[in-house]
Amino acid sequence: MYASNLYAPTLREVPAEAEIPSHQLMLRAGFIRKAAGGVYTYLPLAWRTLRKIEQIIREEMDAAGGQEIAMPIMQPSELWKESGRWEVFGDEMFKVNDRHGREFCLGPTHEEIITDLVRNEIRSYKQLPVLLYQIQNKYRDEIRPRFGLMRGREFIMKDLYSFDKDESGLDISYQKMYDAYTNIFNRCGLVFRPVEADGGAIGGSNTHEFTALAQTGESEIAVCTKCDYAANNEKAELALIEAPAETELALEKVATPDTKTIEAVIEYLNLPIEKSIKAVAFEDEHDRLICAFVRGDHEVNEVKLQNAVEAVSLRMADENVITAAGGVAGFMSPIGLDRKKAVVVVDQSVMAMKNACCGANEADKHYINANPQRDFGEAIVKDIRLIAAGDPCPHCGAPVEITRGIEIGQVFKLGTKYSNAMHAGFLDENGREKPFVMGCYGIGVSRTMSAAIEQLHDENGIIWPKAIAPYEVAIVPINAKDEAQMELAETIYQALKNAHVDVLLDDRKERAGVKFKDADLIGYPVRITIGPKAINEDNIETKVRKTGEIFNFTKENYLVKVQELLQDL
Amino acid sequence: MYASNLYAPTLREVPAEAEIPSHQLMLRAGFIRKAAGGVYTYLPLAWRTLRKIEQIIREEMDAAGGQEIAMPIMQPSELWKESGRWEVFGDEMFKVNDRHGREFCLGPTHEEIITDLVRNEIRSYKQLPVLLYQIQNKYRDEIRPRFGLMRGREFIMKDLYSFDKDESGLDISYQKMYDAYTNIFNRCGLVFRPVEADGGAIGGSNTHEFTALAQTGESEIAVCTKCDYAANNEKAELALIEAPAETELALEKVATPDTKTIEAVIEYLNLPIEKSIKAVAFEDEHDRLICAFVRGDHEVNEVKLQNAVEAVSLRMADENVITAAGGVAGFMSPIGLDRKKAVVVVDQSVMAMKNACCGANEADKHYINANPQRDFGEAIVKDIRLIAAGDPCPHCGAPVEITRGIEIGQVFKLGTKYSNAMHAGFLDENGREKPFVMGCYGIGVSRTMSAAIEQLHDENGIIWPKAIAPYEVAIVPINAKDEAQMELAETIYQALKNAHVDVLLDDRKERAGVKFKDADLIGYPVRITIGPKAINEDNIETKVRKTGEIFNFTKENYLVKVQELLQDL
């Protein structure tokens, strides 16, 4: 490719809305342009990178036994009503009516379509397993699309669905995908961790998120400092703490004027925070009042809480609802709450506390010497808190660290959730009807491109991993009007092209400084400079974008040397 | 690929709704499955063929200077309102509201998006021409989706847009695309004609349709029997006829009881049909009454009529509206029609008639000896009739034939329609603001696959052109339980694969008859049979699907011979 023909309009100024480096750099370097909130056009450079990522995915999916298909983006509502998800997805799903008034959605995911497809075709266990995938636009009407391609409303996903005859078959399919994902993200040059995660709205009992480590990521993950445990902090489990060998004292109500926060209470009572109990009240989608209690220094994990009470969504509770249940906002405890009007959920570590302080359900009053086992009455006891740095790893007990990342892939065991709901089954070895045991496996293709930029860039621009760079090598003649320079540049360009190097020649009649800046901004892994030194001294200066290293090659050895350089990148 | 792993469920019975061979065969051979009316899932075999077609398109677009991008499917309404097409597309456009009530459509085409993209980036004539394309799902809410992928509501298109600084630049871009399309459809193995066509709703003054010849096609085209003129029959022009040297007689009103059709009138009056004038009345989108008159043996061409009166759509006129304009349905002529209430359009060949018969705008009455030049009064005179077999070619005068075809591609000169409407311009050599001169160029990718099947199939199934066959060669061991057969089949499979032949091994434990039938149905260009003859007599039977020819190769020569065979296909 000649840069003079390349449609890659670079920008000097970045639109203010671009908050993170990948968004800023893809706008500046002419990779993407916004068409609407969360909806983008991919320009030639971005499209080249995306197609390289897609090809890597395709090769690994095929190697793992996947077959590529293409399902419709427009999906009839009937299938979603059959699975029960038409309402569940709510406003996040784009809905369309056709001219006859028939309802469709723009596919946010394809479990329904694929289950319908397979249930009409596969009748025997002999035909299993089946692994089908596609790479396609997906649609989610995010409340607040942001961060460029990171959280878009139209985005590219690879989704594979596996159908097995039993759980052990699913285990094999799951492991195949887990391994394929590891290969894919390694080949893309990303630093990532597969982390245990929560099933969420799609359902599924066992799932890993593949998370690219990056400080700008929206996921918080807990990583063990000793073993290989890593989990999304929504999921990360906490071990039971043993109760201290302390004598239980008598419950006592004390006045605590103007102490609506935990910090105020412990200061007033001069207690360590580990002796205090914090309350947070929610309402769920059925308007149930859910009162959660964790230790004063802990935070409620809403995902765990939601799972504990089998709720689909939680919102902060209205004060009137708390009052109606006998609670007093700011001074709430399980003691005295009307269990007919409030579901009480107590974190397991609270149950190990002795002689603690908690609200008295009376304004400006707290209890001291509360002993949850003795005093709290009817409650759901579960692990409902967020893991924090220093908490013990649930596998080995060593302290965990909390780090941030970008979810770029997820593997899910769906089990029979969809095959049961949609009556999708086959005949087993004994001629008995069985539901398919399913898995689903997604990769955010456009998000993977963003994640690569978040991981590797500097103040001058993007630094592409070689495998997914739009071009591997850029040749920059210093003076495009100098015939000798242009002739040598062209010779090198053709030689590299013939050696199957993905190369670009910047033949634009711009100043050298502009071309160097653009090369750094776009982030080609290797840049070859053709100036007077190359002509007069046979010095073909070759720079590695990532390290800044400069190599001086010659007309005789550059072809071998540049290829060696690329191999090592 | 091993057939035992291939997801290609074949059907014995074809759903009744499949009316044409491509639809029937793609269902039977396991290429596609319907998800909703006009919305399909592409299974692995179809997807392989589609990807081969896409790759051919991509190579030719790149060779012609095109750059691949990907624009959004979800398009904000603002741009369509700017171009004035939000209302024009009407019910054919799928519309979506997001959670904030903002309007979008699912792109039926991308002129607005690309014009918006380029107007924000290209400022100078030095940056032109620019040719950008994409391959993507498109959406049109057809009233009656049918014929499988031929007329779908979600379908795959390649669309390229060219931006030039002037008309002569556009001429070059247009010719590049015209040539690239010729290459593409030749490489795909199709029999096609580029035909002159009408601009239609997208606009544009100069356009060709690439039409695959097939009796099941929805397009009628007129093809000269002598020169290379070919045109869509909506477009095909007709030369002026000279008026006969006949004396004009006096207009006379005669009784013609019960003669509401032309056939009845000419029989009753014992006149040749060439002496009669036929009337057809329409209303347009502004409820204007449009009365069209053609010779009794001719048909009204609605597209030409629409262009003649600058209407966007026509419907049959209501009888009351005709009456209100002084007309009598069944007995209508221009004579006596109220020109304030009716637009009269007379075909140019009618104006060359003398002493003709036409309605008298009175029940059961006709005029004879009507002389349009003398008697018809105010009228728009234009070529508004459909060409018919035997009509003279507008280029050379030789008779034309009427044949049918499938529109698989179209090249359009848009000119400045969109750049003017959307204020998209650049500065020319003299620093003056100029609008981009645009072209657009589409290929129906999924429709091209259908067209290939319509052109080439037999009672046993599809016959794929080699370049777009899902696999080029199928190896069929007669007995999958016979170790020697399977071993030889595997050896041949690996050898062909290593020689970059796209090959499938049918290792299924089915009867040979079933496998042969499936091979014919799916339509692999070459089938290699491995049975006892291959083992015992070194006879590697190789059959060409298209011709039925059988070649007997040996273990020593098959590798060379099969590749030679493929080269000649």
CB contact under 8 A, A76 and B47: no
pLDDT digit string (tens) for A449-470?
A: 999 999 999 999 999 999 999 9
Contacts A76 to B, Cβ<8 Å: 35-36, 39
Distances (CA, A) of A192 to A20, A25, A50, B183, B248: 19, 21, 19, 45, 92
CB pairs A-B closer than 8 Å:
130
pLDDT digit string (tens) for B378-389?
A: 999 999 999 999
CB contact under 8 A, A117 and B6: no
CB contact under 8 A, B117 and A33: yes
pLDDT digit string (tens) for A213-236?
A: 999 998 899 999 999 889 988 888
Does the structure show a pLDDT above 70 at B39?
Answer: yes
What integer pLDDT is reported at residue B239 of this predicted model? 83
Does the structure show a pLDDT above 60 at B447?
Answer: yes
Does the structure show a pLDDT above 90 at A94?
Answer: yes
| Chain B interface mutation, best of A98, A131, A136, highest count of B Cβ atoms under 10 Å | A98
Does the structure show a pLDDT above 90 at A47?
Answer: yes
Say which residue the tokens 């997805």 belong to: A89
Contacts B137 to A, Cβ<8 Å: 73, 137
What integer pLDDT is reported at residue B205 of this predicted model? 53
CB contact under 8 A, B7 and A43: no
Picking from A42, A72, A141, the nearest residue to B154 by CB comes out as A72
Least confident of A110-124, A193-207, B69-83: A193-207
Picking from A43, A69, A153, the nearest residue to B43 by CB comes out as A69
Instruction: Tell me the Cα Rg of chain A.
Output: 29
Section B206-233 average pLDDT:
91
Domains B17-236+402-453 and B252-382 share a fold: no
Picking from A41, A76, A141, the nearest residue to B99 by CB comes out as A141
Tokens of A293: 């209690």
Picking from B76, B96, B122, the nearest residue to A35 by CB comes out as B76
Say which residue the tokens 């925070």 belong to: A273
Q: Searching chain A, which residue's CA lies closest to the CA of residue B71?
A: A41
Closest CA to B1 of B54, B44, B49, B46: B44
- Residue A142 · residue A447 · CB < 8 Å: no
Section A266-284 average pLDDT:
94
What integer pLDDT is reported at residue B204 of this predicted model? 46
Section A145-174 average pLDDT:
96
| Chain B interface mutation, best of A48, A67, A138, A502, highest count of B Cβ atoms under 10 Å | A67
Section A159-171 average pLDDT:
97
- Residue B284 · residue B309 · CB < 8 Å: yes
CB contact under 8 A, A65 and B6: no
Picking from B69, B76, B91, the nearest residue to A36 by CB comes out as B76
Does the structure show a pLDDT above 60 at A401?
Answer: yes
Binning pLDDT at 50, 70 and 90, where does residue A179 land?
very high
What integer pLDDT is reported at residue B13 of this predicted model? 84
- Residues, chain A: 569
Binning pLDDT at 50, 70 and 90, where does residue A200 land?
low
Does the structure show a pLDDT above 50 at A61?
Answer: yes
State the DSSP string of B95-143.
EEE-TT--EEEE-S--HHHHHHHHHTT--BGGG--EEEEEEEEEE---S
pLDDT digit string (tens) for A26-44?
A: 999 999 999 999 999 999 9
CB contact under 8 A, A33 and B69: no
Distances (CA, A) of B147 to A460, A487, B190: 54, 55, 19
pLDDT digit string (tens) for A555-569?
A: 999 999 999 999 988
How far does B98 lie from chain A, in Å, by closest CA? 7
pLDDT digit string (tens) for A65-82?
A: 999 999 999 999 999 999
Q: pLDDT averaged over chain B? A: 94
What integer pLDDT is reported at residue A205 of this predicted model? 53
Query: What's B17-236+402-453's CATH class?
Result: alpha beta
Residue B528 burial by CB count (10 A; 0-12/13-18/19+): exposed, middle or buried?
A: buried
Q: Where are the domains of chain A?
A: 16-189+416-453, 252-382, 471-568
CB contact under 8 A, A98 and B141: yes
CB contact under 8 A, A68 and B47: yes
Q: How far apart are CA B137 and CA A446, in angstroms?
A: 18
Say which residue the tokens 């998006």 belong to: B113
- Residue B260 · residue B366 · CB < 8 Å: no
Contacts B141 to A, Cβ<8 Å: 98-99
Binning pLDDT at 50, 70 and 90, where does residue B464 land?
very high
> Domain A252-382 maps to which CATH number in 3.90.960.10, 1.20.1270.10, 3.40.50.200, 3.90.1200.10?
3.90.960.10
CB contact under 8 A, B72 and A9: no
CB contact under 8 A, B143 and A96: no
Closest CA to B300 of B317, B285, B287, B288: B317
The pairs formed by B337-341 with CB atoms below 8 angstroms and a separation of 24 or more are: B337/B291, B337/B361, B339/B377, B339/B378, B341/B289
Section B51-80 average pLDDT:
98
- Residue A289 · residue A317 · CB < 8 Å: yes
How many other C-beta atoms lie within 10 A of the C-beta of residue A419? 22
Contacts A132 to B, Cβ<8 Å: 7, 44
How far does A139 lie from chain B, in Å, by closest CA? 9
CB contact under 8 A, A113 and B153: no
Section B452-474 average pLDDT:
97
Picking from A98, A132, A154, the nearest residue to B74 by CB comes out as A154
Picking from B36, B94, B113, the nearest residue to A76 by CB comes out as B36
Binning pLDDT at 50, 70 and 90, where does residue A239 land?
confident
What integer pLDDT is reported at residue B243 of this predicted model? 84
Q: Searching chain B, which residue's CA lies closest to the CA of residue A46?
A: B69
Q: Which residues, at least 6 apart from B170, have a Cβ–Cβ distance to it below 8 Å?
A: B162, B164, B413, B415, B437, B438, B439
CB contact under 8 A, A44 and B67: yes
State the DSSP string of B433-460.
EEE-EEEEEEEEHHHHHHHHHHHSEETT
| Chain B interface mutation, best of A2, A39, A116, A173, highest count of B Cβ atoms under 10 Å | A39
Binning pLDDT at 50, 70 and 90, where does residue B234 land?
confident
* Structure ipTM over 0.95, yes or no: no
Across-strand partners of B441? B160, B411
How far does B519 lie from chain A, in Å, by closest CA? 19
How far does B49 lie from chain A, in Å, by closest CA? 11
Q: Which residues, at least 6 apart from B432, have a Cβ–Cβ distance to it below 8 Å?
A: none
Portion of chain A with pLDDT greater than 90, in percent? 88
Does the structure show a pLDDT above 90 at B120?
Answer: no
Contacts A65 to B, Cβ<8 Å: 5
Pairing of strands B74-76, B95-97: unpaired
How many other C-beta atoms lie within 10 A of the C-beta of residue B398? 12
Section B45-62 average pLDDT:
98
Binning pLDDT at 50, 70 and 90, where does residue B15 land?
confident
How far does A361 lie from chain B, in Å, by closest CA? 40
**What sign has the CA pseudo-torsion B288, B293, B297, B302?**
negative
The pairs formed by B428-432 with CB atoms below 8 angstroms and a separation of 24 or more are: B428/B125, B428/B165, B429/B125
- Residue A415 · residue A161 · CB < 8 Å: no
Q: pLDDT averaged over chain A? A: 94
Section B490-504 average pLDDT:
97
What integer pLDDT is reported at residue B550 of this predicted model? 97
Tokens of A534: 């190359």
Query: What's B471-568's CATH class?
Result: alpha beta
| CATH 3.30.930.10 describes domain A16-189+416-453 | yes
What integer pLDDT is reported at residue B206 of this predicted model? 83
| Chain A interface mutation, best of B6, B26, B40, B67, highest count of A Cβ atoms under 10 Å | B67
CB contact under 8 A, A5 and B65: yes
- Residue A290 · residue A282 · CB < 8 Å: yes
How far does A72 lie from chain B, in Å, by closest CA? 6
Contacts B132 to A, Cβ<8 Å: 7, 44
CB contact under 8 A, B47 and A36: no
- Residue A528 · residue A473 · CB < 8 Å: yes
Q: Identify the H or E element spanning A114.
A: helix A111-119
Picking from B44, B69, B96, the nearest residue to A43 by CB comes out as B69
Picking from A43, A50, A132, the nearest residue to B7 by CB comes out as A132
What integer pLDDT is reported at residue A204 of this predicted model? 45
Section A391-397 average pLDDT:
90
Does the structure show a pLDDT above 50 at A203?
Answer: no
Does the structure show a pLDDT above 60 at B522?
Answer: yes
What integer pLDDT is reported at residue B200 of this predicted model? 59
Section A493-519 average pLDDT:
96
Higher pLDDT, B309 or B199: B309
What integer pLDDT is reported at residue A243 of this predicted model? 84
Q: How far apart are CA B265 and CA B262, in angstroms?
A: 5
pLDDT digit string (tens) for B409-443?
A: 999 999 999 999 999 999 999 999 999 999 999 99
Contacts A74 to B, Cβ<8 Å: 35-36, 39, 94, 106, 139, 153-154
pLDDT digit string (tens) for B545-569?
A: 999 999 999 999 999 999 999 998 8
CB contact under 8 A, B35 and A75: yes
Contacts B121 to A, Cβ<8 Å: 9, 33
